Amino acid sequence: MAMSERLPSVLIIDENTTRASIIEAGLSAAGHSQVTVINEMHGIAAKIALHEPDVIVIDLENPNRDMLENIFQLSRAVKRPIAMFVDRSDKEAMQSAIDAGVSAYVVDGLRQERVKSILDMAISRFNAFSRLERELEEARGALEQRKVIDQAKGLIMKSRGVDEDTAYKLLRKAAMNTNRKIVDVAESLVMSARLLGDEGK
Amino acid sequence: MITELSAGFLPLTDSAILIAAKERGFAEAEGIALNLVRETSWANVRDKLAVGQFEISHALAPMPIAANLGLTPFDTRLIAPMALGLGGNAITVSTALLARMQDRSGFSGLDAAAAGRALADVVASGRASGGKALQFGVVHPFSGHNFELRYWLSASGITPDSDIEIVILPPSLMADALASGQIDGYCVGEPWNSIGVARGAGRIITTKSSIWASSPEKVLAVREDWARENAETLHALLRALYRSAEWCGQPSNHFELATLLGSSAYLDQPAEFILPALDGSILGASAPGGGRDFFQPHARAATFPWQSHALWFYSQMVRSGYVDHSVAHAETARQSYRPDIYRTVMTGIGVPVPSANSKVEGALTETIAVGASSKFLYLGPDGFFDGAVFDPDRLDAYIAGQTD
């Protein structure tokens, strides 16, 4: 029958639209034609009933997991019973899913190997997304740090009448003498300048 | 040597004992570094216990029983060697439903029987006029909230599921759902009742402590295999949590505790929403002092894991059709709570402990001193609001007598 030929239909429940779309893209690239994304939790039971997914992927940050699991158990909104995807015995798969921050549910009777690739895809995309977020955070931090150091240099240049290079050296020396990071010294300089009302004068 | 332990918790006032154990140095004094991880769902707690990210967790009192009866997706066995206090929940209804309750019967106050009668009146008139069933929210099927709400409705002559639908919602969304009219009421732990009231969404009509006095709500859930292999660490943890419970129970510490719980790492809520549960002011100015307090983290053996509590939850799981009653199932439920471990630990530090593992729930109508391993121990009152008594030795008859 055709049922055994086609790939399972997947429903992605993720309030983070960016993350949901990169999982969707990954699954589409792997040949999954029936992928639906839900970002909005309102009326979720009806939406699940409408789509009748074979597999549901959900992020662990979603506070509605208890509600969803109850819907699955009651099997009223969903015609076929849905269980936790990861097999009781497969602790390793479960571990990597939870580490990545994702969980999945599957309708009863669907063979494990048919959904394994879906979970693997979700896990790798979740991990990639977290990595991107971390990098973005770091980049943002680095940018902030550079801004503070530039401000501190400007303050020193003005008050001491020195050039930029000398200002930086003074800053570095102060940091070494007090055993602190340059950015911390710069930050306290900018803060005290602000407190004393020097900024912008 | 310091042992690091990771524990999950949900942002609720009854996570107090775990949080104070870390923040007030009780864990450290026992050589334990508590890594507390705030979770968004009980499903996450269950999963992370199963894969070993957590050794222990703040847990709904029926959770270890459900796990051991095979009602959860994983075969992780959990034990409850300690309870995390008594009471702490309330039932809040929308202002619209409250008005209907007051119209018909002039209901006021927080008495479970009076609130039940007033609600039954509204339900009966709704049934007569063919109105749509009311909806109440709880946070999880295997929760004290679900079982005490259902018990209270049934004993008030209201049939759960047909007269009032019970839906699952996360605690943080309850007040919004009430305000928007999506639900008509909810049974949830603090601070989510106080928050619902503060937002003007509804009012508290009764409390867990009025439905079943001195009743269990959260427990310390511990993976059974971990407990077996790490008995000494577990014992140290229980000592730390006991000292923390003592501290939490001191009225002079309530303000500090409310502020601590309210901080951004924990509940992330104003302390004014947390304090009413701790100092009992949530019950209003006319509340009787002493016995029927709202949330009790320490006094009256509040952290003792009574097996009669486990068996009552089991009886309600049978009632709701989650599991068939059998001797083996009842025994699994009973042994999910481990007063033996608690007793060993507390006797070791001279703390008075009940000498029995079970008690007849509803036998004590007032606070009395009972037989303890040393010193005096005060218990009770512990009755159900409808006067029914739960005798764990007569479990079969109790289950057979449940009407729905």
Per-residue pLDDT reduced to its tens digit, B70-112: 988 777 899 999 999 999 999 999 999 999 999 877 788 889 9
Give the nearest partner residue to A98 out of B53, B73, B141, using CB atoms: B53
Per-residue pLDDT tens digits for B303-318: 999 999 999 999 999 9
E strand or H helix at B218, and its extent? strand B218-223
Average pLDDT over residues A8-31: 89
pTM (two decimals): 0.87
Q: Do A66 and B172 touch (CB under 8 A)?
A: no
Cβ atoms < 10 Å from Cβ of A152: 25
Minimal CA separation from B366 to chain A, in Å:
37
What is residue B368's predicted lDDT score, i.e. its pLDDT? 80
How far is it, in rounded angstroms, from Cα B150 to Cα B161?
Answer: 9
Average pLDDT over residues A78-104: 73
Q: Please state whether B62 falls in left (phi above 0), alpha (psi between -120 and 50) or beta.
A: alpha
Q: Do A63 and B41 touch (CB under 8 A)?
A: yes
Chain A residues within 8 Å of chain B (Cβ atoms): 60-67, 69-71, 73, 83-84, 86, 88, 91, 94-95, 98, 103
Residue B292 has pLDDT above 70, yes or no: no
How far is it, in rounded angstroms, from Cα B88 to Cα B60?
Answer: 12
Write the ipTM: 0.88
Using an 8 Å CB-CB cutoff, list chain A residues near B42.
66
Token output for B317:
């799981």
Give the nearest partner residue to A67 out of B51, B74, B169, using CB atoms: B169
What is residue A89's predicted lDDT score, i.e. its pLDDT? 59
| Percent of chain B predicted with pLDDT > 90 | 81
Can B3-85+216-354 and B89-211 be said to share one CATH topology?
A: yes
Chain B residues within 8 Å of chain A (Cβ atoms): 40-44, 47-48, 50-53, 73-75, 139-141, 167-170, 172-173
Per DSSP (E only), the strands in B249-306 are 295-296
How far is it, in rounded angstroms, from Cα B164 to Cα B162?
Answer: 6
Average pLDDT over residues B218-239: 97
Residues B208/B215, Cβ–Cβ less than 8 Å: yes
For B321, the closest chain A residue by CA position comes to A74
What is residue B216's predicted lDDT score, i.e. its pLDDT? 95
Residue A3 has pLDDT above 80, yes or no: no
Residue B222 has pLDDT above 90, yes or no: yes
Residues A11/A56, Cβ–Cβ less than 8 Å: yes
Q: Do B141 and A70 touch (CB under 8 A)?
A: yes
Residues B346/B243, Cβ–Cβ less than 8 Å: no
Using an 8 Å CB-CB cutoff, list chain B residues near A61.
40
Query: CA quadruple B36, B39, B42, B45: dihedral positive or negative?
Result: negative
Minimal CA separation from A1 to chain B, in Å:
30
Using an 8 Å CB-CB cutoff, list chain B residues near A84.
73-74
Using an 8 Å CB-CB cutoff, list chain A residues near B52.
95
DSSP B93-162: EEHHHHHHHHHHH---SS-HHHHHHHHHHHHHHHHHTTPPPEEEEES-TTSHHHHHHHHHHHHTT--BTT
Using an 8 Å CB-CB cutoff, list chain A residues near B167.
67
Per-residue pLDDT tens digits for B357-382: 999 998 887 788 876 555 678 887 88
What is residue B290's predicted lDDT score, i.e. its pLDDT? 41
Residue boundaries of the structural domains of chain B: 3-85+216-354, 89-211
Length of chain A equals 201
Residue range B3-85+216-354 forms a domain whose CATH class is alpha beta
DSSP chain A: -HHHHSPPPEEEE-S-HHHHHHHHHHHHHTT---EEEE---TTHHHHHHHH--SEEEEETT-TTHHHHHHHHHHTSSSSS-EEESS-TT-HHHHHHHHHHTEEEEEETT--HHHHHHHHHHHHHHHHHHHHHHHHHHHHHHHHHHHHHHHHHHHHHHHHHT--HHHHHHHHHHHHHHTT--HHHHHHHHHHHHHHTT-TT-
The secondary structure of B42-110, three-state, reads HHHHHHHHHHCCCCEEEEECCHHHHHHCCCCCCCCCEEEEEECCEECEEEEEEHHHHHHHHHHHCCCCC
Minimal CA separation from B186 to chain A, in Å:
14
Which amino acid belongs to residue B226?
W
Give the nearest partner residue to B140 out of A66, A91, A95, using CB atoms: A66
| Percent of chain B predicted with pLDDT > 70 | 96
How far is it, in rounded angstroms, from Cα B363 to Cα B179?
Answer: 40
Per-residue pLDDT tens digits for A114-169: 778 888 888 888 888 888 888 888 888 888 889 999 999 999 999 999 999 999 99
Length of chain B equals 404
Q: Do B140 and A88 touch (CB under 8 A)?
A: no
Q: Do A88 and B73 touch (CB under 8 A)?
A: yes
CATH architecture for segment(s) B89-211: 3-Layer(aba) Sandwich (3.40)
Residue B117 has pLDDT above 90, yes or no: yes
Cβ pairs A/B, distance under 8 A: 58
How far is it, in rounded angstroms, from Cα B170 to Cα A63?
Answer: 6
For B47, the closest chain A residue by CA position comes to A98
Q: Domains in chain A, start-ordered, CATH in brackets?
A: 2-134 (3.40.190), 137-195 (1.10.10.10)
What 3-state DSSP class applies to B370?
Answer: strand
Minimal CA separation from B5 to chain A, in Å:
17
Residue A78 has pLDDT above 60, yes or no: no
Using an 8 Å CB-CB cutoff, list chain B residues near A83.
73
